[in-house]
A = this chain, B = another copy of it.
Amino acid sequence: MLVTIDDIRRAADSVDGVVLRTPVVGSPVRPDLLIKAESLQPTGAFKVRGAVHAIASLSDEARAAGVVTHSSGNHGQALAWAARRAGIPCVVVMPEGSAPVKVEAVRRLGATVEMVPAARRAERAQQIAEERGLTIVPPYDHRHIIAGQGTVGLEIIADVPSPAAVLVPVGGGGLSSGVATAVRALSPATRVIGVEPELAADAAESLAAGRLVTWPVEQTGRTVADGLRTNLSDLTYAHLAARLDGIVTVTEAEILSTVGSLAREYRLVAEPSGAVAPAAWCHHAASLRERFGLGDGPVVAVVSGGNLDPALLATALQT
């Protein structure tokens, strides 16, 4: 069963006053492109929304016992942050070889980190859950996570009542499933367009094929947008097939040049995964207007996160 707008409204009750009500930011340079700046969330990414709602949805007993996940990126930080806010234990299983700065970030948020060989991550998280009675909170393959991320779409339509389109990045599909659900329910005339790196276009291929297609990590690992290397799950595929108006792709050069444009024109620091949705508009606005039959109004692109290597940002500023 797919997530509904009522599920997302319940998630809004969980996240209100806990996560940041992020602004929709404009720029006189591009009056047709507005940015929903999820990069400003406390851990630098939208992921706190799903994590907060997943924890809020647990029974009192399960919540008190704590949560566990495996992640080398934004979801681990988000869950650690949400667990600390809730005052409950959190374990994050991370692959050996994770960047020390990422391990340190999770520890600083008060979570216990367990390092294991990459191939044993999921198994180890499962084992910890069973041994210690913790609940596994997955990064996207869960209805509460999708509903939590969907609050991004709820807020967009509250601030910009009927945009021509909402552009959203597609990785594992949690954010895009939630946003598509909210926007279709609240503004049926608005098109919801997914955006992927050309080098990790598994979701575009899946929608074209009419079934879930996965790409091996050797392929998706080529994109600089490291948050979008993940494949869809059955659950997120079902949401996107039913609720997205389409998926488009962008090149690596388009992604990096948009990291620069967002800093110069919108004063926002976006990671490459975060710049993918606006990149589609910055580089293909005319063809998107035609393909999706968009009116003249502005579109809103979700910038999903802002955690990147400062040296990469410095490079992007000069493109």
Contacts and interface: CB of A to CB of B under 8 A. Distances in A.
Interface string A271-311: 00000000000000000000000000000000000110011
Name the residue in A23, A25, A267, A270 with the highest tally of chain B Cβ atoms < 10 Å from its Cβ. Answer: A267
A9 interface: no
A44 B269 contact: no
20 contacts: A20-B25, A22-B23, A23-B40, A25-B40, A26-B42, A28-B42, A28-B108, A28-B109, A29-B108, A40-B268, A260-B310, A267-B268, A267-B306, A310-B318, A311-B318, A313-B314, A313-B317, A314-B314, A314-B317, A314-B318
A311 B260 CA distance: 11
A264 interface: yes
Nearest to A20: B23
Interface string A3-29: 000000000000000001111011111
Given A22-B23, A25-B20, A28-B109, A267 B267 contact: no
The complex is assembled from copies of this chain, and their number is 2
A180 B31 CA distance: 33
Given A29-B108, A268-B269, 20 more contacts: A20-B25, A20-B26, A23-B23, A26-B42, A28-B43, A28-B81, A37-B40, A39-B267, A40-B267, A40-B268, A44-B267, A260-B310, A263-B313, A264-B310, A267-B268, A267-B306, A268-B268, A269-B269, A311-B317, A313-B317
Interface residues of A, number: 36
A105 interface: yes
Contacts of A22: 23
A83 B250 CA distance: 37
A223 to B, nearest CB: 21
Nearest to A271: B267
Given A20-B23, A21-B23, A317-B311, A28 B105 contact: yes
Contacts of A21: 23
Contacts of A108: 28-29
Nearest to A110: B28
Nearest to A319: B310
A143 B165 CA distance: 41
A264 B266 CA distance: 16
A313 B77 CA distance: 27
A196 to B, nearest CB: 23
Nearest to A262: B269
A260 B270 CA distance: 14
